[in-house]
Amino acid sequence: MVDHQLAQDGTFIRGKNKSTSVYVIILGIFVGLGGIAHGVFETLQGNTPTGGYLLDIGVFTLIPNYLITGIAAIIVGLVVIVWTIGFIHTKNGSIIFLALSILLFCVGGGVAQVLFFILAWGVSTRINNPLAWWRKVLPKNTRKRLAQFWPTMLVSGFLFLCVAVGIWLILSPPNTTYRAPTIIEYVLWLFLAIGILLQPLAIVSGFARDIERQSA
C-alpha cells in the first residue's frame, strides 16, 4: 500500500524525498488528530472557566474557558492536518507547521503533543534535502537493508502508537479521576514506549530508502 502510493507521485506525497514525506504526513495528521481529540473533551466540559493555564485534563491553554479553548483546539488541529498534507513540503512549510503546532499547544491541544510535533517538524526539514550526511554515515549495504525494512518500521511504529492512544481514550480519557493503574494501562504504556522507540528506526530507514531511490 505504502509502496503503491510512493510510486504514484500523487498530489498528497510531494517533495524530493517521498518516504520522508510520507512519515511526516502521517505524524502531522497524528498531531492534528490528537489536538482535535483534546478539543472535543474540552468542549464537553461546557461553557465554564478553566481555572488556570495547566488543566487537569492534561493540557495547557491560554484561553480561560473550556468551550472556547476546545473549539480553538479543534479548528487549529484541522488546520495542522490540512497544512501537513498540502503544504509542509513547501519552502516555509516546516516553520509554519511548527508555528501552528505551538499554537495548538497553547489553545489546549495537549502537552504530550510537543514531543511529536517537534519530531515532525525536524524530519520535515529533510523532505527536500539531498541527505548527503546520511549518505556518508550509512554504508551502502546498511542503506539497502534499512530501505527494505522501512514499510515495516513505519507501519509498526504508528500501529503501536495508535493502539496506545486508543486504549487511553477508552479507559482513561481526559478529565478521568486518577486511579491505580490496571494491567491494561501498563500495556498502554508498553505499547506507547515501543511506538516511540520505533520512530527513529522509521525515520532513518526512510532516509535510507530515499537515498536508494535517488541513486537508482
For the segment 160-172, what is each residue's pLDDT rounded down to a tens digit?
999 998 888 777 6
Tally of domains in the chain: 1
Query: Which residue, chain included where needed, has cell 510512493?
Result: 6
What pTM was computed for the model? 0.89
What is the Cα–Cα distance from 93 to 74, expressed in whole angstroms? Answer: 21
pLDDT of residue 140: 92
pLDDT of residue 7: 45
Render pLDDT for 30-66 as a digit per residue (tens, 0 to 9). Answer: 999 999 999 999 999 999 998 888 777 678 999 999 9
Q: Are 121 and 12 in contact (CB under 8 A)?
A: no
List the chain residues with pLDDT less than 70.
1-12, 57, 172-181, 216
Query: Which runs of consecutive H residues, i.e. helices, occur in 44-182?
Result: 66-86, 93-106, 113-124, 132-137, 140-171
What is the Cα–Cα distance from 214 to 216, expressed in whole angstroms? Answer: 6
What is the Cα–Cα distance from 183 to 166, expressed in whole angstroms? Answer: 15
- Domain of 129 in residue numbering reads as 2-215
What is the Cα–Cα distance from 77 to 101, expressed in whole angstroms? Answer: 8
